[in-house]
Each structure stands twice: as structure tokens, then as C-alpha cells.
Structure 1
Amino acid sequence: MRLILGLALRDLWRDWARLVCNIAVMAGVLVPLLVLFGVRNGVYEALLGQLLRNPAALQIDTRGNSAFTPADAEEVRGWPETAFVTLKTRSLFDYVNVRPAGQPAVREAVAVPTGAGDPMLAPLPGLGADEIAVSAPLAAQLGLGPGDAVELVTQAPERPRQLVLARRVGMILPEARAAGRAVLADLGTLDLIEAFYDEYALPEHGIATGRPLAGRVADYEGMRAYAASLEALAPLQARMEARFGVATEAQTARVTGVLGLGRNLGLALALTAAVAGTGLAAALVFGFWAEVARKRHMLAGLGLIGLPPAALGLIPMVQALVTALLGLAVSFVLFAVAGAVAERLFASGLTEEGGLVRLAPGQGLAIAAGVVILVTASALAAARAALRTDPAVVLREAP
């Protein structure tokens, strides 16, 4: 085996011009494919990352005035497409006044129900007892930070006193998640505010007058749900609309467009790779076969000195493998250079999120393995020609 390896390498080095040509052919096909594959990864994953970083991309809100019960929410929560769901109180009572404890500054904000597992609160699993999350604009206007004490103040013309709820800031929401002034609080807090507006007595909060709270039946106007994945968004939206007969709002069109773009880019890249791979395989097959045909007399001489046909067949196989490895090394170096040039020419937000041209190590290894298999399979034709070489016949044909 060492003799065959030495002979194959020395012969390959002696004919270095053809080796360079074969490497150039491989690089000419592989580098553009690698760049296309890397751009597809970079652009598509950046778009997906933008969607996944903003939980609103997975959110579904019901529209209009409907009637939902806790049992409805529990049903939706049990669906495999659902990651989180919460009921919503009546939109008429969504607004509260927020002020830092002991300070006069007050801002009006939209109150949004939340609960454990709400993607809006990630990476926190949820809020603690008597905690709220506030949007970045609201926090900036009131000078709030995590841990600060605040008060939610609600007043109604029919009530003699304000409802004041003491809470603590558990989280400042990233600006991309909540635009404007917003407060995320548990459903119980919003339900309490609605009961205040409905003129129920709340003795524990200093509201002694009003109807008995024990006779109140909670009324939930809507539902806010989050899909478990981008792929589950459209099915979850369709299922909610069919089950409850309501209209919903979601970024389904945008998400579907990005997912469709990924599929189309993948199909286009696969077709391009198939055509290019076929051309590369044909070039290598004919190239290696021509090499064996050109070296028939040398192989015949080796056969006469005792090398078996199987050993002769290994010579083009070894040369093909070495050519493949060298071609891959050159291709990946040129790909790295092309990627760096592309990053400079098309510098954008994508480059800050991992690169415009991105190739994962696992993908690179898979491509390399595929090329080695392709080149080795192409060399089999040359190896078969070498195995059929009859030294006596070849030498008789020599001039």
C-alpha cells in the first residue's frame, strides 16, 4: 500500500500542471456555490432572527367584542401549536395611570395582561407577586428601573375614590417588544381594575361603596396567544378563528413570506448545486479517464513488474482523493476571502447579527464529504479502466 501511495503521489506531483487544472475546475464550481449557500444562510437566518427576537411575530390577538371563559383559554393552552395564552379584559378599561411611589409624575399607559411563560417577559419565566413589566418609553419618561416601587392609579367619575395599586417594576421591556407606554400585569390586576370601573366594592383597597364583589361574574372580551414556532403561527390562527368564530390579528403574512423565501432559496440553491455538481462530475470523470488512457503504458509497465490489477486501480483513486482534498482546501480559502469582501461591500445590519455570508462548521463538513464522495465516485471510472489494462496488449500497441 505504501508503494502504491508513493507512486500515485510522485506521478501526481510530476504532472503538476494537470493537478492545478483539476483544482481550478473544482474551485471554479465550489466557490460560487459556497458563497451562494453562505449568503442564503446569512440573509435567511438574519430575517428569522429578527422575527424570533421579537415575540410579537408569534402573537395572535382576537379582534372585536367577544366572550371568552377560562375554560376557553385552557383549551387553547392545550393545543400543540400554542406556547402561551391569556385572556383579555374589556378594552374600554385598558388604560391606567402610572406614577413612581411618592412622586407626582404621572403617565397614562395601556395595561396588557400577562402570566407565567409569556414570551414578552423572556428570559424571565414570569413576574413575581405584585410585580409589573413596563415598556422602555414609559420607564424612560418616569425614570423607572427594575425594583422601583410604582403605583397604578385608576379613577372613574362614578367612584368617590381612586383605586391605587402598589406594584414593583420586575422588568423593563425591550423597546422592540412594546412600543409606546405599556404596562404588563397579571390578569388578576386587570380584572380588579375592571371591577373598580364596574362599581364593585373593594374594601381591601379602600373602596367601601359599591356592589358586592362576590356576585361579580368576570367578563373576558378577548384572548392573546403566542404560537410555539413560526411554522405554527398560521395553523394556530386558523384554528382559533374556526373554533371561536372570531377575527384575529397576527403577522402571519410576514412570517409566511419569510418561511416561503427560505424554502424557495433552498430549492433554487439545490437545483443550482445539482446542475453544477453534474457538470463537475462529468468533467472529473472524463478528466480522470483521460489520465488513465494517457498513462496506459506506464500502468502496463507496472503490471509487468508484478503489481496486481487491484493495485493499479488504486492509483487513480488515490490521486482523485488527493485532488479533492487540495481542491476543497483552495475552495474554502477562496470562500473565506469572498465572504470577507462581501461583508465589506454590503455592510449592513445583517453583518452585525452574525455575517452576511455564514457557513456553519457542520454544513462545511457535509459539503466537504459530498465533494469527496463525488470525486471518489468519478475516479471509479478511471479505476475500472486501469483494472482492464492488459500489459501485454498495451505494450504490443506501443509504436
Structure 2
Amino acid sequence: MRKGLLATLAWHDYRNEARLSACAVLALVAVVAPLLVLFGLKHGLVSTLTERLERDPAVREVIPLGGARYNLDSIAALAVRPEVAFVVPRTRQIAATVDLHADGGSQPLTVEMVPTAEGDPLVPAEQLPRGSGEVVLSQRAAERLGVKVGDELTAAFGRSVSGTPEYQRTRVKVKAVLPLEVFQRQALFARLDLLEAVEDYRDGLAVERFGWPGREAAGTRARVYPGFRLYARDLDAVETLRLHFAEHDQEVATQAEAIAQVRSLSRNLTLVFWIIAGLALAGAFAAMAASTLAAVERKRRELSVLRLLGFSTAALVGFVVLQALYTGTFSLALAGVLYLAAETGLNHLFQSAAGESACRLLFSHYLLALLATLACSALAAATGGWRAARIEASEGLRDV
């Protein structure tokens, strides 16, 4: 009952001094609103850069360098690592090319052959080739050939046997075309068995499944792969995989440096934000403490009357703290409205892609701002309200 009465008295007194209360609110808004915008820019900028890296599979790609040798067992061991999202063996680069002929086209187009399989981050699951008779083209290759999804092409492979050139051809169907932003080179994505067949044929072996002749059957030799296509599960896994290959004396090319730059930017912006926030909050704390001291001096007679009516020292300090909490609540509400207006304007001004935000705060950030503002307000009021604890009840009997 006494607590409810104290809160009611504090509110009526706060409302009775509407002008002074409004000035206190605006003073705190001048601190909180810029901090919200600053933190929104920091969070929005770093989140946007991080999301761009995460959306770009090339950033998570780990490319082996040098003369490595892998078999299916070693590739399978990589596939089960928790850091790996996708891995598939690659055949020799010199053998992974093909001449494509469009029906009715005059000039063939030489493109690289890229192995693909389930889980490929570049090729959606519904666009994956279902067999060696289907392929996926990059947009550059499709444009040069003048073909679209559903068209058929002739793929030609050549080799030289005792100085005599030999060629084999097979028909393939275009299952899908990858957009330019996904893959920019002229390429053909196909199942690994097609690339292995082409490599065997160019090595002079017979590929019975396709009816391509050779000196011996391709299945009689142990296959060794010079590399692989590997994508890390997330950005943090890129550095983990780089260290793993370094321990095994395997040089790899990664985008670890670009990822580290974004991480460094996040840390630096966080440091700058907390320095500015610390200075601003210190100023706000001092201003609120001084405002509380002035309010206590201005209301000494009223507070002494409350002491005379039986309110304790803690209740008098609580009276002052409650009014500071009212100020903090109204200040954050107004600062939130101003932030939303600034956020809308900044995002409209700097928006470069759908779904990206230059300035953005989460609900948890608003909640944290509310708790921090109320805590700072209460602490400053309690610090400045120590004068209220020194007020004697006898002062209420005198008009001082």
C-alpha cells in the first residue's frame, strides 16, 4: 500500500513539473537517440557484410594448390569432417575440357568441365544433372552457344594416339543455366562419372560404358585425383580447414583474409561504439545526478513532509529514483521513434540489394537499451538522491 502511494505521489509530482520533466526527457533523448543510430549502423553494416560473405559460396571455397594426390577414401574422410559442407573429387585440369557444338551452330565452344553432386552450393538440388546425359551450363557458355534449358548439345573430346588425333562425341541435354553471379566463367557442370570417362579416354583407355575404344579397360587402374571442389560449412570453418591442410603440408587458397577483415571491422567498430557510448553515458549520468540534486534541493520541504508522515529514508530515495525511471522510459520511447525515422531514411539512402540494411537493430537490442537506460537513470538518481536521505522530519514544520 505504502509503495503504491509513493509511486502515485512521484507520478503526480513529476506531471506537475511538466516543463522541467520534458527538459530532462529531451536531455536524455539527445544522448540515447544518437547511440541507437550509431549502434544500428554498426550492427547493420557488419551484418550486411557478413551476410554477403555467407551468401557467396566462393568465399567458403577451399582450393588445393600444388601436386596433391587423393583417392576416394581420402575424399570421403574430408566429407565427414564437421567443417565441410560439400566436397567432390576433380579430374586433371588438362583433361577437364570439352568442345560443345550447338545444333545448327557454326563454331564450337571450348569450356571447362566442373564436377557436381548432391549438396553443391552452386547448383540447386532441383537443377542437378540426374545422369551423365544431363549437364548444367554457366550463363556465359549458354549465351555464347545460344542455347537454353532443355536444348541438346554435342560434346566432343579429343586425344592423340601415336600421333593420330582421335575424337569421340556424346549428346548431352541442358538441365539448367547458372546465373552470372553464381559462376562467371564458361563452364559445364556434370556428374563426376562423365569427367572420369573423358579423362580415361584422353589417357588412351577404353570406356566401355560409352563405347569409346582404347588400349585397355578403364576400370583396371586405381584412380587418383589431383584435387577437389570443397566448400566450408560456414565462415569460421574456412580458417579451420586451412589450418588442417597446413598440418598435412597441403597448400590451399582460401578467402580467409577477406573473412578476417570483416571480423576485424566488427571488433573495431564495437570498440569505437563502446568508447563513444561510455563517454556519452558518463555525461548523461553526471547530468542526471546534478538534476536530481537540484530537484531534491527544490523539494526539500515536500520531502521533509513525507518524512514527517512516516516515509523512510529508502522511500525518499525511491521517490527520486521513480521520477528518474519515468524520465528514462519516456526518453527511450521518444529516442526509439527518432531512431526508426533515421533507420528508414538511412536504409532507403544506402540500400544496394533487396533485404540488406545499412542500419538495423534487433528486438534484443531495444530491450538491452531499455534496461541500460533505466539502470543508468536509477543509479544516477540514487547517487544524486543521497541528499534526500539527510532531510529531517523537523524541516517539514518550518517554511525554509
The TM-score with structure 2 as length reference comes to 0.88
Q: Which residue of 1 aligns with 2:270?
A: 266
Aligned residues of 1:164 and 1:205 also touching (Cα < 8 A):
no
Q: Which residue of 2 aligns with 1:185?
A: 190
**1:52 aligns to 2:54 (yes or no):** yes
- Percent identity reads 26
- Amino acid corresponding to residue 152 of structure 1 in structure 2: A
Q: Which residue of 2 aligns with 1:254?
A: 258
- Tell me which of 185, 198, 203 is aligned to 2:203: 198
- Amino acid corresponding to residue 19 of structure 2 in structure 1: A
Q: Which residue of 1 aligns with 2:23?
A: 21
- Amino acid corresponding to residue 243 of structure 2 in structure 1: A
Output the CA distance in 1 between the equivalents of 2:219 and 2:88: 23
Aligned runs of 1:217-228 on 2, under 5 Å? 217-228=222-233
Aligned runs of 1:342-361 on 2, under 5 Å? 342-343=346-347, 346-347=349-350, 349=352, 352-361=354-363
Aligned residues of 2:153 and 2:174 also touching (Cα < 8 A):
yes
**1:7 aligns to 2:9 (yes or no):** yes
Query: How many residues get paired?
Result: 394
Output the CA distance in 1 between the equivalents of 2:301 and 2:272: 46
Deviates more, 1:380-389 or 1:256-265: 380-389
Once the two structures are TM-superposed, the CA of residue 384 in structure 1 deviates from its matched residue by 5.2
Q: Which residue of 2 aligns with 1:207?
A: 212
**CA 1:28–1:141: 2 relative to 1, 3 Å:** same
- Amino acid corresponding to residue 137 of structure 2 in structure 1: V
Output the CA distance in 1 between the equivalents of 2:126 and 2:276: 44
Aligned residues of 1:93 and 1:193 also touching (Cα < 8 A):
yes
Once the two structures are TM-superposed, the CA of residue 95 in structure 1 deviates from its matched residue by 1.0
Is the partner of 2:356 in helix, strand or coil? coil
- Tell me which of 76, 83, 91 is aligned to 1:74: 76
Output the CA distance in 2 between the equivalents of 1:164 and 1:52: 39
Is the partner of 1:61 in helix, strand or coil? strand
Output the CA distance in 2 between the equivalents of 1:260 and 1:165: 51
- Amino acid corresponding to residue 276 of structure 1 in structure 2: A
Aligned residues of 2:160 and 2:166 also touching (Cα < 8 A):
no
Q: Which residue of 1 aligns with 2:63?
A: 61
**CA 1:232–1:298: 2 relative to 1, 3 Å:** same
Aligned residues of 1:150 and 1:168 also touching (Cα < 8 A):
yes
Q: Which residue of 2 aligns with 1:135?
A: 138
Aligned residues of 2:201 and 2:214 also touching (Cα < 8 A):
no
Is the partner of 1:156 in helix, strand or coil? strand
Deviates more, 1:183-192 or 1:137-146: 137-146
Once the two structures are TM-superposed, the CA of residue 381 in structure 1 deviates from its matched residue by 3.1
- Amino acid corresponding to residue 85 of structure 1 in structure 2: V
**CA 1:388–1:172: 2 relative to 1, 3 Å:** farther
**1:286 aligns to 2:290 (yes or no):** yes
- For structure 1, the residue ranges without an aligned partner over 5 or more in a row are none
Deviates more, 1:128-137 or 1:156-165: 156-165
Output the CA distance in 2 between the equivalents of 1:283 and 1:125: 63
The TM-score with structure 1 as length reference comes to 0.88
- Tell me which of 289, 314, 318 is aligned to 1:314: 318
Once the two structures are TM-superposed, the CA of residue 133 in structure 1 deviates from its matched residue by 2.5
**1:368 aligns to 2:370 (yes or no):** yes
> Cα deviations across residues 39-96 of structure 1 (Å, max 9, x unaligned)?
1122222222222221001111112333222222122223332222222111111211
- Tell me which of 322, 329, 334 is aligned to 2:338: 334
Is the partner of 1:152 in helix, strand or coil? strand
- For structure 2, the residue ranges without an aligned partner over 5 or more in a row are none
- Tell me which of 243, 266, 270 is aligned to 1:238: 243
Is the partner of 1:119 in helix, strand or coil? coil
**1:154 aligns to 2:157 (yes or no):** yes
Output the CA distance in 1 between the equivalents of 2:288 and 2:37: 22
Once the two structures are TM-superposed, the CA of residue 307 in structure 1 deviates from its matched residue by 4.3
Once the two structures are TM-superposed, the CA of residue 323 in structure 1 deviates from its matched residue by 0.8
Once the two structures are TM-superposed, the CA of residue 388 in structure 1 deviates from its matched residue by 4.7
> Cα deviations across residues 199-229 of structure 1 (Å, max 9, x unaligned)?
1112332323432223233231112221221
- Amino acid corresponding to residue 341 of structure 2 in structure 1: V
Aligned residues of 1:110 and 1:181 also touching (Cα < 8 A):
yes
Is the partner of 2:183 in helix, strand or coil? coil
Once the two structures are TM-superposed, the CA of residue 348 in structure 1 deviates from its matched residue by 5.1
Output the CA distance in 1 between the equivalents of 2:368 and 2:153: 55
**CA 1:122–1:259: 2 relative to 1, 3 Å:** farther
Aligned residues of 1:77 and 1:85 also touching (Cα < 8 A):
yes
